[in-house]
Structure 1
């Protein structure tokens, strides 16, 4: 009769669970594929996003909408935007903010983050004409300073450990229906 220690039995069950889980996530040991809906859901948990700029403008981005651009290997993000400045506006101004961005893996945060976001649209309704240039510049600053490196998806520790070894994401490819992240093995 073969005896298996409790430790080996627990390890075998854990390995089986990880294998089943990875299959369900679209991972086959060499990569992860996250669907657009998984990414959208992860993104929704991180918003609304609020920042104050120069102690003058309060900016809030909410209701993120993610689309994928595989031809350019970039993601497109649209938000509802609110800009408030009690000195210049009677009430907060609402509009739309859209950008596209590349992606990279940030090892420190264990996240797929925005890389070099570029503003495509920043329209604010009811904006007095004298402020339109400043608000458009503000949109570029929001993208470059506040959203550069913003986490789109953060890996759980168990996702970065396969077969008892630490792994690190590598090449990120935007697909028509999701994002594929290759895994670099040690």
Structure 2
């Protein structure tokens, strides 16, 4: 009976230690990451707007501060923006709206996360005639690209990445999650 208890105790300990070793090994394979919350992204974007985009001398489009939203299901961010279009061809100012989605990329030269691969939704200007609305939508992709291209959404500070730098890691894939952006750190290329 005593041998059986010792055997069961030793077996239980072995199973517990083996399970802990598996958990540690599994954790060691996980890539370290840095999370940027949506509120922090929004505060950075707030500093960059409003922006004005001229359109071939016909009119000027003013883009107000985008309201960002996380789209984890497609690994992108969305932005809804109020617009204002005015110019000699229109005689007065017209309010409108624009919705876009975009991916993110890391720029190593200044440690920034930037908007790219911009996809335009439809621009709407309720006060304009349908033909003018269609004309503006024909310029839409170009206007969205000009107003949002390479907008900096976040800049990593040296202290944010110091530990990772010391381990030979650098920012890699950016994943949109329900909590914000998760920047995964990967091994630096030799």
Is the shorter-chain TM-score for this pair beyond 0.5, marking a shared fold? yes
Judging changes above 3 Å, is the alpha-carbon distance between structure 1 residues 31 and 47 closer, same or farther for their aligned structure 2 residues?
same
**What is the TM-score when the length of structure 1 is the normalising length?**
0.75
Aligned residue for 1:123, secondary structure, equals coil
The question of whether the paired residues in 2 share the 8 Å contact of 1:77 and 1:99 is answered with yes
Q: 1:114-129 to 2 correspondence within 5 Å?
A: 114-129=115-130
* Bigger helix share: 2
**Per-residue deviation, 1:184:** 2.9
Kindly name which structure, 1 or 2, has the bigger radius of gyration based on alpha carbons: 2
For 1:85-119, what per-residue CA distance to the aligned partner results, in whole angstroms no more than 9, with x for missing partners?
Answer: 1x221211111111011111122342111121111
- Which deviates more, 142-151 or 126-135? 142-151
Moved more, 72-81 or 137-146: 137-146
Aligned to 2:107: 106
Q: Deviations over 1:110-146 (max 9, x none)?
A: 2111121111131113112331221012221122344
Q: Could you tell me whether the CA contact under 8 Å between 2:83 and 2:96 is conserved in 1? A: yes
Structure 2-normalised TM-score? 0.73
* C-alpha distance in structure 2 between counterparts of 1:113 and 1:164, whole Å: 21
Q: Deviations over 1:35-68 (max 9, x none)?
A: 1111112211221122223233211111321111
Among residues 43, 52, 55, which one is paired with 1:53 in the alignment? 55
Cα contact 1:161–1:167 (8 A) shared by 2? no
1:71 alignment partner in structure 2: 73
Structure 2: runs of 5+ lacking an equivalent: 1-30
Unaligned runs of 5+ in 1: 1-28
Is the 2:59–2:90 contact (alpha carbons within 8 Å) kept by the matching residues of 1? Answer: no
Distance 1:139 1:109 in 2: 29
Q: Look up the match of 2:186.
A: 184
Which of the two has greater strand per residue? 1
**Aligned pairs, number:** 157
Q: CA RMSD, aligned part only?
A: 2.1
